[in-house]
Structure 1
Amino acid sequence: MKKFSPAISALIDALRVLPGVGQKTAQRMAFQLLDRQRDGAAHLAVALESALERVGRCNTCRTLSETPECPVCADPERASAGLLCIVESPADVIAVEQTGQFQGQYFVLMGRLSPLDGIGPADIGLDRLEERFQQGQVKEVILATNPTLEGDTTAHFIADMARRYQIQASRIAHGVPVGGELEYVDHTTLGHAFSGRKTVL
């Protein structure tokens, strides 16, 4: 005998795609939406459908955007700074922006190098990043990949690539815990990390 109806089972399975949501949490969320928050559930469904239709990726930096070019990339003052911050995800862009410490542009990798998982340079857009280096407008790259083994490997790979184009490469420094994720670091700590960035050797 099945525990849930097909519709409820499908909703529970769909909710499990969210990070940190297991079977039990998905069940509680599903019953909360169906039993006590039906209006909220309907609003959530409409908002999600709208976001999926309207939100894509910026053609320049690859962050999430409702326009072909995000507001940061469209800002000529930020482009003229010659600073390019490399991050792993769109959530990291928001985290850095909230510090108020950075006035350059971004490039979102959408991941990090992980040879064991078969993720190479082309899989995270390093060919597109190199095209930006070739344009000659970038003076410094700030490597803000997460302080994990894969994040450090990715940062060193990009630093080597930047040197081939005589571009200075620096890495965000103190304040960010080893093994931590940027989107969970508080604004003050991340701001100090940007202020204390160091050149990658």
Structure 2
Amino acid sequence: MAERVSGPEIERLIQLLARLPGLGPRSARRAALHLIRKREELFGPLTEAMHAAREKIVPCSICGNVDTVDPCTICRDERRDPSLLVVVETVADLWALERAAALSARYHVLGGTLSPLDGVGPKDLNLASLVERVAPGGVKEVILAVNATVDGQTTAHYITTLLAEYNVRTTRLAHGVPVGGELDYLDEGTLAAAMHARTEF
């Protein structure tokens, strides 16, 4: 077993950083060393930002986005078209579409996808609140911007069936999004093109 080369505080920092997506043990060590080297200019502001985020960030009660206000900034924006509702799996997908600036619409975050193998059923997703938003009739088009994975497509089919009784057009992203691709990893140009070339589901 390898000897520990630093104190428990540094080891704890590395372990916590390694839990972040995209950071393995080596990347976490590099990030920790960088923070330590730049501790005067990074540690204080980072600690304050993380504390503020922990205290102030809340989920939006309308769409499921995260923000420091509820309803979130997007839901409060009166310039957005309330008749267009973009359904995404996660907040990361919402942010990816916003970076592409392809459409000025409202959003609905499902909180995942249907996955029988993982025990995720309809009651585990924000599907009831989606129906509540569509039922009154103000939404004219629901854009299913889910990932092109098996679970994503299963979820899209389920939503289409769920909304069939309402007078709403259901579309999906064009096939510019590769099969197996995840929105958060695509470039803005691909996302914008896919959004503009959306098709009937």
- Structure 2-normalised TM-score? 0.91
For the aligned residue pairs, the C-alpha RMSD in angstroms reads 1.7
Task: Work out the percentage of aligned pairs sharing the same amino acid.
Answer: 42
Query: Could you tell me how far 1:2 is from its partner in structure 2?
Result: 5.4
Mapping of residues 16-55 of structure 1, within 5 Å:
16-34=18-36, 36-39=37-40, 40-55=42-57
- The aligned amino acid for 2:60 is C
CA distance 1:97–1:32, shift in 2 (3 Å): closer
The answer on whether the counterparts of 2:174 and 2:195 sit within 8 Å (CA) in structure 1 is yes
Shift of 1:183: 1.6
Give the deviation of 1:107 after TM superposition: 0.2
**What are the residue-to-residue correspondences of 1:28-177 with 2, within 5 Å?**
28-34=30-36, 36-39=37-40, 40-80=42-82, 82-177=83-178
Counterpart for residue 6 of structure 1: 8
Structure 2: gaps of 5 or more residues: none
Following TM superposition, by how much is the alpha carbon of 1:114 offset from its aligned partner in structure 2, in angstroms?
A: 1.1
Q: Note the C-alpha offset of 1:76.
A: 3.3
Distance 1:157 1:117 in 2: 17
Q: Distance in 2 between matches of 1:187 and 1:20?
A: 20
Runs of 4 or more off by more than 3 Å in structure 1? none
| Alignment-mate amino acid for residue 43 of structure 2 | A
Deviation, structure 1 residue 192: 1.0
CA distances 1:43-102 after superposition (whole Å, capped 9, x unpaired): 21111111121111111101011111122211334254x110001122222221233321
Aligned residue pair count? 198
Residue equivalent to 2:193 = 192
Structure 1 residue 149: deviation in Å?
0.9
Aligned to 2:182: 181
Letter aligned with residue 109 of structure 2: V
**CA distance in 1: counterparts of 2:26 and 2:13, whole angstroms:** 13
| C-alpha distance in structure 2 between counterparts of 1:192 and 1:45, whole Å | 39
CA distance in 1, matches of 2:27, 2:89: 27
Aligned to 2:85, the other structure's residue is in SS state strand
**Residue deviations 1:20-54, cap 9 Å, x none?**
211222122222222x1112122211111111211
Equivalent pair of 1:162/1:168 in contact (CA under 8 Å)? no
Q: Secondary structure at the match of 2:75?
A: coil
What is the CA–CA distance in structure 2 between the aligned matches of 1:57 and 1:157, rounded to whole Å? 24
Q: Normalising by the residue count of structure 1, what TM-score does the alignment of the two structures yield?
A: 0.91
Structure 2 distance, partners of 1:12, 1:22, is 10
SS in 2 for 1:72: helix
Q: Which range moved further: 139-148 or 120-129?
A: 120-129
Amino acid at match of 1:15: L
